[in-house]
Structure 1
């Protein structure tokens, strides 16, 4: 059992990390970035290797349409609305990428083989495209209200970890209030409502809202399983194509945890309308048991 302290949060929290790590996992654990260069965020292009757990989701013959986060050597955490009703054979996932191709090649694409020459550098393992073996959508997912908008994707092959492919940590089942703290969301989604997608991974820092204030701003469908975050003064938000990606927060030892999953919002980047995320800590036990059951 590993014990961690979240930055500026008083309680000591412990996670049974080993239950989601196979023997293929690196001994240094989750949430560690090989590239620790720092940069001020705020809707800017990121840089290669900064968020090595980011996953790009593709359906057959479509552009990248959702994101996710690698949480073990076989599992990606994402939003239910991204994968609900999708057959595993129609879904592919790219890992270890910074600049991504808009559409998967249509000719002789082999899962788990690099097909576009878009690998970051010599650290990438050449197996950046993965097939999907199983999709597990939360059993209580409600599409109309976005309640329980969370899912786990099991890859068809174990991941070979590298400096540009790592897994992110999970938060403990109970967290102190995160209100007014800041987190980071990253993705390849559109840079404005109904705008064009970004071929390069982008990131933005967002403040976390009180749920009551969020409910007043949004008007409905804000639950205790919801986490709200977004710019109150300037535009800062996830947008189309970012769905399923992680809302991330650092820990004192510079390990990162996925505290939320991009779920939905009203337009994008409006200061009075935060983005809505599935609160990962509410589902930590479900995630761990699901990953263990499908290991």
Structure 2
């Protein structure tokens, strides 16, 4: 898990490639303006690893709706564990973990220490009841507590991973923090890019970096 200097999160797809949200980055191409901070829970820790970007590859065809993934190539590797991505829908259910340094309440400030929370899967039907046609159901996955609210990702968590354990007990990324109405509002779960839908496109893109 890394913090990106534009105020988003990301996960290490490879030690020198960050998977984040398309809406966090600009157009594809050479880009040395982003700093990734990794290796720590405390962003102000003296042991934080800071690495500059060299390239950005935003999802082909991204236009602000759906396809909310991007890759950032780093100038050098960050020596921390990578996060495997889901390549099938098998793990797009159950309870997920989300993490980030974003706001801890709607309108709140960004956090110094990494926070995490657990959020249960929300069906496409229940999510569409909240968001209607804004939801791109075949590209997005929803999670949270639509009845009560109270637990969610928030501003500054965008691009970070939603993950769970696979059958072997290893962490696997199923979502990328994308959007929602406010944060943790009753009736409005969080919406995440569905990683399994884009797994082959992500892998192909990574090979070009």
Which category of TM-score, normalised to the shorter sequence, fits these structures? over 0.9
Partner of residue 17, structure 1: none
- The alignment yields a C-alpha RMSD, in angstroms, of 1.7
Q: How many equivalent pairs are there?
A: 206
Specify which structure has the higher proportion of strand. 2
Give 1:56's aligned residue. Answer: 3
Contact 2:4 2:35 in 1 (8 A): yes
Q: Pick from 46, 53, 62: which aligns with 1:141?
A: 62
8 Å contact from structure 2 (residues 149, 188) kept in 1: no
- SS where residue 266 of structure 1 aligns? coil
SS across alignment from 2:84? coil
Residues 1:260 and 1:189: Cα distance change in structure 2 (over 3 Å): same
Q: d(CA) in 1 for partners of 2:127 and 2:91?
A: 14
Residue matched to 2:135: 222
What does residue range 125-274 of structure 1 map to in structure 2 within 5 Å? 128-143=49-64, 146-159=65-78, 161=79, 165-172=80-87, 174-176=88-90, 178-179=92-93, 181-223=94-136, 224-232=138-146, 233-274=148-189
Counterpart CA distance in 2 for 1:81 and 1:290 is: 17
2:23 to 71, 77, 81: 81
- C-alpha displacement at 1:142, in angstroms? 1.4
Match for residue 37 of structure 2 among 78, 94, 106:
94
- Aligned-pair CA distance for 1:176: 3.6
Q: Which secondary structure does the structure 2 equivalent of 1:166 belong to?
A: coil
* Aligned twin of 1:69: 11
Q: Secondary structure at the match of 1:218?
A: helix
Give, in angstroms, the shift of residue 85 of structure 1: 4.2
Cα deviation for residue 147 of structure 1 reads 1.4
The question of whether the paired residues in 2 share the 8 Å contact of 1:147 and 1:221 is answered with: no
Looking at structure 2, the residues matched to 248 and 278 of structure 1 have their Cα atoms a distance apart, in angstroms, of 12
Runs of 4+ residues over 4 Å off in structure 1 = none
- How big is the shift at 1:234? 4.3
Aligned-pair distance for 1:177? 7.2
5+ long unaligned stretches in structure 2 = none
- Tell me the TM-score normalized by structure 2: 0.93
CA displacement at 1:92 relative to structure 2? 0.6
Contact conserved, 2:36 with 2:52, CA < 8 A, in 1? yes
- Pick closer, same or farther for the CA change 1:272–1:91 going to 2, 3 Å: same
Classify the secondary structure of the residue corresponding to 1:89: coil
- What SS does the corresponding residue of 2:122 show, helix, strand or coil? coil
C-alpha distance after superposition, 1:227-263 (max 9, x if no partner): 0011233411000000000000111322111100000
**Structure with max Cα Rg:** 1
CA separation of 1:226/1:206 partners in 2, compared to 1, >3 Å: closer, same or farther? Answer: same
Question: Following the alignment from structure 1 to structure 2, what is the Cα–Cα distance between the partners of residues 85 and 187?
Answer: 24
